[in-house]
Structure 1
């Protein structure tokens, strides 16, 4: 048996995230990360995922009982409307569009998504990042000491937002949810200071790009 084998993660499940990345006008790195994080928590709080008869409810429950893997893919041209035709939640943020899909086994990804490229999504950041939105919002910071592609960073921001939704302080999460689940990628504060404020921290499973246990992202709610 493999030393990293986890019977609770067999078979492995993942949430698919698809980023619209047209060649002529690609989005920027930070906007994609914010849109991905927002799409994740909006799917998790959608009635399809929360109501007793919601069609995504059991899939979300089954996935969250395992490792909360996320796979970021990119789509352009006709591939984007094909992805939009599948059930999910789309978020637009400063020119970035990201769609989150109900989780499922990694061996049973819909063909419209399975054919989309996973590796290689690495976008430039905006020269002038947008200021934070009005509170309440979730502040997410990526570890500046860890190199990650945009696809990897977007997945980590999704993890951070999800953990904050599930494990953050009850009053803070209620305010954040009622305020529209806004997300801001914080880049203007020292990492160590952000760590002190953080309510949750993401430690990567080590499947791609970074060693297992690496702290990749942190998050807290600003009210």
Structure 2
């Protein structure tokens, strides 16, 4: 965030994230978190976001100069294909489908997204967590002492993946991104020890669910 930025000066910016959550067969909590983190990284590394003439480049630059905010919404029925028609990046993973959209002012969210519900996305986790993928992949762990909904957890995982992309060791990040930016949500990790060894940690801005400064997630890359 630029040092002279005051959030009162203009409308806040955010990256919109939409999770497909059908009533009959909803995805599980962990798969949504993993898919969201991957979607964020794939959008930020998409040519449209990184090439000098990329159509998303300026929006990403402007957003990353401010508070990094993400808003998770849910879609079902016809609302999901309607959201798919807008520019963005969709990730399908372990039964979850998540689409990330280029960031923009909260006051200018497209109507197809603005009408989607933000609060209340809270999904059950899988009975048996999925095993880690083949390296390279990113590990994200959520703070076991903080209770948050799936929507909030997905946004925190997106934050962690973004920080890892921007602050991780270049060789590790390149291998991770080149391998598809796969993510594994770790459960039952020794939190205190992992915090000390993690590459990045997310401290929440306090917009929803938790007080400002709460450490919500940590992340690191596994290469082998």
TM-score range, shorter chain: over 0.9
Kept after mapping to 2: 8 A contact 1:9/1:67: no
Deviations 1:21-43 (A, max 9, x none): 00000000000000000000000
What SS class does the counterpart of residue 139 from structure 2 fall into? strand
Aligned to 1:217: 217
Structure-2 separation of matches of 1:193 and 1:11: 39
C-alpha RMSD of matched pairs (Å): 1.2
The gaps in structure 1 that reach 5 residues or longer are: none
1:180 CA drift (Å) = 1.5
* Closer, same or farther: CA 190–89 of 1 in aligned 2, 3 Å: same
Kept after mapping to 2: 8 A contact 1:88/1:100: yes
Summarize the alignment of residues 2-81 of structure 1 with structure 2, pairs less than 5 Å apart: 6-7=6-7, 10-81=10-81
What SS class does the counterpart of residue 209 from structure 2 fall into? coil
Structure-1 separation of matches of 2:209 and 2:174: 34
Aligned to 2:122: 122
Length, aligned pairs only: 219
* Ranges of 4+ aligned residues in structure 1 off by more than 6 Å: none
Structure-1 separation of matches of 2:7 and 2:17: 25
Structure-1 separation of matches of 2:78 and 2:23: 13
With the length of structure 2 as denominator, give the TM-score of the two structures: 0.95
Summarize the alignment of residues 139-218 of structure 1 with structure 2, pairs less than 5 Å apart: 139-218=139-218
With the length of structure 1 as denominator, give the TM-score of the two structures: 0.96
Deviations 1:14-60 (A, max 9, x none): 00000000000000000000000000000000001011111000000
1:88 CA drift (Å) = 0.2
1:189 CA drift (Å) = 2.0
1:193 CA drift (Å) = 2.3
Structure-1 separation of matches of 2:106 and 2:174: 32
